[in-house]
Structure 1
Amino acid sequence: MKKIVKPSGFHFLAILLILFTSSEIFGQYGYGGYGYGRGGYGYGRQRSAIPQTQETPKKEEPKTAEQLVDGEMPSITEALSLNEFESAVLSSVLKKYVQERIEAQILKLPPEKMREVYENITKRQDEELKAGLPLEKYEAFVELQKNGVAKTIKENKKKKKKQKKTKT
């Protein structure tokens, strides 16, 4: 004999509860179908309830005289066509006097006094460079200071092109 089970109110409520909660879970967490995770890789974009704070950028420490000169020396060497010895002489002199300029800035002297100190440093630097470099290299360095490195390199390239054209 077959026993027929009549659905009661409890069975009806249990089925409705399962249907509603399963669709809620699928919708929220991306289970099944082509939800957030696609291919069963997860539950979608994970978010943290804790707000993210942006780190304040750390202050860069000022460069030392050695770092400043070492950063500029390759372009100065290229612009002036210096050999190893001339490059070493120029580098050591520049490091020495750049360090003095940095120390003068730290003192925060009044503008008139600062100008006087800078002029004194520049005079001593020029005298030392005249003694350590050949005259044409020294003059080229003075011209480089007036015009800038990029302009001097451009002019040197133009001169080389003109020389090549005149040779052929």
Structure 2
Amino acid sequence: MKTNKKLFLSILLVLLSFPILNAQYGYGNGYGNGYGNGYGYGRQRNSIPQAVETPKEPEKLTAEQIVDAEMPEISEKLGLNAFEEAVLSSTLKKYLQERIEMQILKLPPEKMKEGYEKITLKQDEELKAGLPLEKYEAFVSLQENGFKKVKDKKKRKKKKKKD
């Protein structure tokens, strides 16, 4: 009989402890007391740390891509024909590539300045030889203005003639 009483009391103790344990750990569906870490008790947390995506550097454009993007606008502003456009495009690509290569070398500022001046002089000489004088001067003035939207002289002349 003593064994039956002990067995009965231990089973009763286990059955009565379920509500207490349930209150301690919640119902197993996230409605616990805020403690726990992803086992159905409390707030779910991922034990694997999330990799932070580093923002990708914008792809560096090649000299060819830069010139090809700007050429239609320059051609429109200067009123270039196909031959003049080809001369200007090839010259700009060539010397822009040289400038990019100088930036990659990361020379001291004095040498960079000297190199840029040499490149600019060579570019100017080649453009003078390949373009008519008036279009060369228009390109230089466009370059000095930083390729900003400048009203074309042709449009001004047309407006004056209509008046």
- Using structure 1 for the length normalisation, give the TM-score: 0.63
Hey, what does 1:20 align to over in structure 2?
none
Hey, what does 1:22 align to over in structure 2?
none
Hey, what does 1:75 align to over in structure 2?
73
Hey, what does 2:99 align to over in structure 1?
101
Hey, what does 1:146 align to over in structure 2?
144
Unaligned runs of 5+ in 2: 1-43
Higher relative contact order (Cα pairs below 8 Å, separated by 6+ residues): 1
- What is the aligned residue count? 120
- Name the aligned partner's letter for residue 146 of structure 1: E
Q: In angstroms, what is the RMSD of aligned CA positions? A: 2.4
Rounded Cα–Cα distance in structure 1 between residues aligned with 2:111 and 2:77: 33
- Could you say what secondary structure the match of 1:150 adopts? coil
Hey, what does 2:112 align to over in structure 1?
114
- Name the aligned partner's letter for residue 116 of structure 2: Y
Unaligned runs of 5+ in 1: 1-47
Hey, what does 2:88 align to over in structure 1?
90
2:158 equivalent to 1:163? yes
Alpha carbons 1:75, 1:149 under 8 Å: kept: no
- Are the structure 2 counterparts of residues 138 and 165 from structure 1 closer, same or farther at C-alpha, using a change threshold of 3 Å? closer
| TM superposition shift of 1:49 | 6.9
Alpha carbons 1:69, 1:95 under 8 Å: kept: yes
Q: Percent identity?
A: 69
